[in-house]
Structure 1
Amino acid sequence: MRLPSWITQHLAALRAVLVLTVLLGILYPLAVTGIVQLPGLRDNANGSLVKTGETTVGSSIVGQAFTDADGNPLKQYFQSRPSAAGAGYDMDSTSASNLGPESIEDTLGDPALDPNSADGDGSSQALLSQVCSRSKAVGELEGVDGSRPYCTADGLGAVLRVFYSDGLSGTVTRAVSVNQRCPATPFIGTYEGVTVECAKFGEDYSGGVLVPVRGDAPADPAVPADAVTASGSGLDPNISVAYADLQVNRIAQARGITTDQVRALVAKNTTGRALGFMGEPAVNVLELNLDLDSTYPFHG
C-alpha cells in the first residue's frame, strides 16, 4: 500500500531530525570532548585552573582581584588591571564599560540620596574621570606621580563647560568645572578672565561648550595605561611589564626581600610576543603572586 505523499514527506523529515540529532547532538559533542582531553589540550579545555595543593585558587586565563574585604589593594601582592565585568572580574558579567574617548563629563548624583544604597544617588563617572581617579590611586599606592593630562589634582576629569556671549563664540561669560561638585575648589581659578565655578547638582550646563584642559602633567605618565583602563572582556589575567615593574618596590618592601629577587620572578612569569611579533610581553598576575608566596612567603 502506497502511503500518501504528505506522510512520506513527514517521515523523511523525522528521519533527518533523528539522524542529525544523533550526529550533531551526541556523536559530535562526544568526539570534541574526547579530543580536547588529550595531553596539551586538557588544561585549556578544563578552564586552565590553577591549584595550590588540592585547592583551586583561580584560572591562569581569567584575572582576579587581590584586595581585602573592603576592596583595598593587598600590598604584598601584584595588582591586576581594572575590570568592568560586574563588580570586577565577574565571569557571569564579562563586558567592557562601552565608554569611549568622548566620555569626559560626569553625571552628578543627588545629594539627598545615599550613594551607598542599593539604588545609589544617580551619579556616574565618565571614562576620563575613571582613568584619572585610578591613576591617582595607583600613584599613591606605588609612591609615584599619578598625574595625567586632562586630570585634576583630586583625580577627576579636568573639563569645563564654557559659556560664550554669542552661543559658540564671542567672549566667555561663564565657566564651570563640571566634574567637581561644590564646595570643591575648581582645578583652575579663572578661564579667559572669568572665575571658574564648581558644579551644582540639578543645574543645566548643556548650553556651554565642553572644554578639556590638559594641565601641566607629563606627556608620558608614570602610571601605565593598563593600570587605569579595563580590558574589553574585563577578565584579562595579564598586566604589562611596565605595570609589573612599577609594583616591584612595594612588593619587595612588603615581603622584606630585594627588588632584584622580585624582578627575577617577574621575568620568570613574563610571556613574550605571540609568534615573536604579535602583541606585547605580558605578566600573568595570578601565577606571579603564587610564585611569590611559594618562594618568599608573606608573614604580615
Structure 2
Amino acid sequence: MRLPAWLAQHLAALRALLALTVVLGVVYPLLMVAIARIPGLSGHADGSLLDRDGKVVGSALIGQSFVDDQGNPLKQYFQSRPSAAGDGYDPTSTSASNLGPENVVDTLPDPSVQDDEGKQGLLTQVCARSKAVGDFEGVDGSRPYCTPGGVGAVLAVYADHAVSVNEACPAAPFVAQYQGKPVQCAKPGEDYSDGTITPIRGDAPANPVVPADAVTASGSGLDPDISPAYAALQVPRIAKERGMSEADVRKLVDEHTDGRTLGFLGEPGVNVLELNLALDRR
C-alpha cells in the first residue's frame, strides 16, 4: 500500500532526524572524546592544567595574579600583565576595559560621598601602573602625558586660566602655568568639558623603560603571557629575592619564551605561571 505523500515526507524527516541525532549527538562527541584521550593531546583537552607537588595551581592558558592577601605583588615571583576581567583574571567575567585613547579625563572622587573612589580614564590607569611598576622594580616609571604623581597630565584650557582636570584640589598642579596662564587644581563634580582638553607630553623619554604590556590589559583579560621585555625588567628583582644570579634567571626566562606562531604571527611571549613554577622547582 502506498503511503500518502504527506505521511511519506514526515517519515523521511523523522528518519533523517534520528540518523543525524545518532551521528552528530552520539558518534561525533564520542569520537572527539576518544581523540582527546590520545597521549599527548589529553593535557590540552583537560585545560592545560599545571600542578605543583600534585596540586593543580592553574592553567597554562589562563593568566593569574601573584599577590599576597592584601593584593600586594609578591617580590619573589614574576608579575603578570594587568587584567580587566572581573577582579583580575576571572574566566567567568572575561572582558576588556572598553576604554580607548580618548579616555584621558578622570571622574574625580566626591569627598562628600562615602567610599566614592571616582573613575580613572585609560590614561591615568596607564600612568598609575607605570609609576607603580617603576617603583616596584626600581626603575624610571615615567611616561609621556603622565604627571610625576602617576595620573594623566591633562589640562582644560580656558581664555584666562587652565585646570589640571585629573588632579583634585588641594593638590598642586603638575605645572604652574600653561602658555602664560595660571593652572588650577580640579574641583570634584565640576564639568570642564567646555574647556579645550589638552594632554601635556612632559619630558618623559619617548621609549619608556616600563613596557606597554606592563601597563595595559589584554582584550580578554586572561592573557597568560608577558613580553620578553617585561620579563627582562623583572629579572634583577627575582634574582635578588631568590638569591640567584641574573644569568640563571635569564636562562629560565629564555627556556619559557615562545616564539611567534608559525614564525611570523604575533609576538614572542613568556608564560608567567610556567616560569614561576620553574623558579619554585629551582
Q: Same fold (TM over 0.5)?
A: yes
Q: Work out the CA distance in 2 between the residues paired with 1:72 and 1:83.
A: 15
Deviation of 1:263 (Å): 1.2
Whole-angstrom distance in 1 between the partners of 2:262 and 2:23: 36
Name the TM-score, length of structure 2 as normaliser. Answer: 0.95
AA paired with 2:14?
Answer: L
Distance 2:103 2:39 in 1: 47
Within the candidate set 166, 186, 210, 1:179 is matched to 166
- The equivalent of 2:31 in structure 1 is 31
Shift of 1:6: 4.2
2:234 alignment partner in structure 1: 247
The alpha-carbon deviation at position 113 of structure 1 amounts to 2.5
What is the alpha-carbon distance in structure 2 between the residues aligned to residue 152 and residue 44 of structure 1? 45
Structure 1 Cα separation of the partners of residues 89 and 219 of structure 2: 12
What secondary structure sits across from 1:12 in the alignment? helix
Partners in 1 of 2:119 and 2:189 — Cα distance?
Answer: 14
The answer to whether residue 121 in structure 2 is matched with residue 126 in structure 1 is yes
For normalisation by structure 1, the TM-score amounts to 0.89
- Corresponding residue for 1:142? 137
Q: Structure 1: which amino acid aligns with 2:33? A: T
Q: Map 1:158-173; keep pairs closer than 5 Å.
A: 158-163=153-158, 172-173=159-160
Report the number of matched residues.
282
Counterparts of residues 185-264 of structure 1 (less than 5 Å): 185-264=172-251
Give the C-alpha shift of residue 256 in structure 1. 1.7
SS in 2 for 1:56: strand
Task: Please report how far the alpha carbon of residue 26 of structure 1 lies from its aligned counterpart in structure 2 after TM superposition.
Answer: 1.8
Q: Aligned residue for 2:114?
A: 114
Q: CA RMSD in A?
A: 1.6
Q: Distance in 1 between matches of 2:133 and 2:114?
A: 27
Q: In the aligned structure 2, how far is the partner of 1:276 from the partner of 1:249?
A: 29
Question: C-alpha distance in 1, partners of 2:226/2:110?
Answer: 36
In structure 2, what is the Cα distance between the partners aligned to 1:6 and 1:106? 68
Alpha-carbon separation, structure 1, partners of 2:188 and 2:230: 37
What SS is found at the alignment partner of 2:170? Answer: coil
Q: 1:221-274: per-residue Cα shift (whole Å, max 9, x none)?
A: 110111001111111111111111111111111112221121121112112222
Indicate the SS of the match to 1:283: strand
Alignment gaps of 5+ in structure 2: none
Residue 168 (structure 1) aligns with: none
Q: Percent identity over the alignment?
A: 65
Which residue is equivalent to 2:40? 40
